Amino acid sequence: MAVGAVHNDNIRLTTGPHHSVSGVNLTPGVSSRRETPTSLVNIDALLNATRYSDNDEQDDLDEQIIRLRSRGQASERSSWRVDGRLVRDTLLRTVDIPGFDDDPDLGDTDIGLVERDVRRIRLRLRPSWTRAVTQRTSVTLGYRFTDESFSDEEGTRLVDNDTHRIAVTMSNKLSQRNSINLAVSASRHRAPDVDAETDSLAISGGITHAFSPTLSGALSAGVRDTSFEGGADDDRDSTLEARLTKRSELTRLVAVLRRDLDITGTGRSVETDELQLRLRRELSPRLTFTLRARLFRDKALEGDPTNVDRDYAEVQPGLRWRWTRQRSVIGSYRYRRRKFDAADKAANSNAIFVGVAFQAAR
C-alpha cells in the first residue's frame, strides 16, 4: 500500500485553458501466489484512488486492476500458460501494478484519446499451449482476447469493441544461445456500434539470441494483409517486434519496439508504432531508481483520421528509499505529451508524486 500527495498541471492533457490539480492518492493492493511442483499462479489486485482538493474542477478518480499470471506443466512434453488483465479506469492516466513487469501490456493506445472522465473496462486474456515435438523443436498455439466497454462516453466517439487473435508458432533451438521461430496469426477486430469489422492475416519469422547469462534479445519481422468491411481499401504492410531483456542482481530491464495492427476506442483499426521501456536499478542497498517510458504513433487505416492520427509520449522516472524493511519513501515525476496530426499545438502535462509505501510483513 502507498499513500501520498499528487500534483498535475494538465490532467486532461488539453491544449485549451486548464487548471492545475492537487490531491491525495491511496493505492492499497494485495498479491496471492500459489506454487506446486507442476504449476505457478500469481494474482495481483490494486485500487488506485485519488481525492482532489475541493476547489479543483477535477472529479475524484478511482481505478482498479486485477492481473493473473500462471503457467504449468501438463505433461513431460506439454506446458501451458494463462495471462490475464482486467482494468477499470479512465483515459486520463495510466494505471498499473507497482513493481517490475517483464511483460508490459502492449497495444493499449487509448490513453489520452479524449479529455473527459470516460469510464473504461478493459479485459485481456492470453492462454497458450506449447508442445515439444523434438528436443530442439516446439509448437505453441496461442489465443488473445481483448474486450473494451465504455460508460459516460456520449459525445466522445468512443465505442465498445473486441479483438480475437489466434497464432501458431514453431520454434527451433539452434544452440544454447540461438533459436529461430516462424509464426502465422489471424485476427478479427469488431466494433458493432459503428459497423466496423477488420480481418487480418500475418506471417513472421524471428530469432532469439542470448548475449550473456543476464542479457537476451529477440527480433521478429513479417508481413500482414488486412481487409475492412465497409468499402475501405485492403492494406498490406510490415510487422515488427524487437525486444531486449536484462535480468541481473542489480538491474532489471525490458525494452520493446513494435509495429502492428491495433484497434482504438473509436472502433477504428490503426497501425501502431510503439516503444516501451521498463528499468529498475539498485543504486545502493536502500535506494532504487525506476524508469517507465512509452511512446507510440497511431495512424488510421480506415475512416476519418482527424481524431485518431497522433503521437503520444509518457516518461516516468522514480526513486524509492527503503526506510525500514516494511516502509519506503517514494517519489516520481511523470511527463506526458500528445499531438494530433490535425491539431496546431501539442498538449503537455507534468505530474509529481511523493509518498510512503508500506509492505505487510510475511
Q: What is the pLDDT of residues 270-283, one digit of tens each?
A: 999 999 999 999 99
Q: Is the pLDDT of residue 95 over 80?
A: no
Q: Is the pLDDT of residue 362 over 70?
A: no
Question: Model pTM?
Answer: 0.91
Q: Is the pLDDT of residue 50 over 80?
A: yes
Least confident of 27-31, 176-180, 284-288: 27-31
What is the C-alpha to C-alpha distance for residues 229 and 196, in angstroms, rounded to an integer? 6
What is the C-alpha to C-alpha distance for residues 9 and 249, in angstroms, rounded to an integer? 37
Residues 6+ away with beta carbon under 8 Å from 55: none
Name the average pLDDT for the chain.
Answer: 91
Q: What phi, psi does 175 have (nearest 5°)?
A: -160, -175
What is the C-alpha to C-alpha distance for residues 232 and 268, in angstroms, rounded to an integer? 11
What is the C-alpha to C-alpha distance for residues 41 and 70, in angstroms, rounded to an integer? 4
Strand 137-151, strand 310-322: pairing: unpaired
Kindly state the average pLDDT of the residues 55-64: 77
Q: Which tens digits make up the pLDDT trace of 114-133?
A: 888 889 999 999 999 999 99
Query: What amino acid is encoded at 143 in this protein?
Result: Y
C-alpha grid cell for residue 13?
A: 492533457
What is the C-alpha to C-alpha distance for residues 127 and 129, in angstroms, rounded to an integer? 7
68 vs 56, 164, 306, 317, CA distance in Å?
Answer: 36, 19, 36, 26
Grouping H, G, I as helix, E, B as strand and the rest as coil, residue 59 is coil
The fraction of the chain above a pLDDT of 70, given in percent, is 96
Residue 54: band (very low, low, confident or very high) from pLDDT cuts 50, 70, 90: low
- Note the pLDDT of residue 271: 93
Q: Work out the number of other CB atoms within 10 angstroms of the CB of residue 151.
A: 11
Kindly state the average pLDDT of the residues 285-293: 95
Q: Which domains does the chain have, with CATH numbers?
A: 31-51+62-348 (2.40.160)
Least confident of 50-64, 222-236, 282-296, 337-351: 50-64
Q: Which tens digits make up the pLDDT trace of 297-330?
A: 999 988 888 888 999 999 999 999 999 988 999 9
Kindly state the average pLDDT of the residues 103-111: 82
219: enclosing H helix or E strand: strand 215-228
Q: Which tens digits make up the pLDDT trace of 238-252?
A: 999 999 999 999 999
Q: What phi, psi does 192 have (nearest 5°)?
A: -60, -30
DSSP 149-169: EEES-TTTT---EEEEEEEEE
Q: Which tens digits make up the pLDDT trace of 123-168?
A: 999 999 999 999 999 999 999 999 999 987 777 889 999 999 999 9
Q: Which tens digits make up the pLDDT trace of 84-94?
A: 999 999 888 77
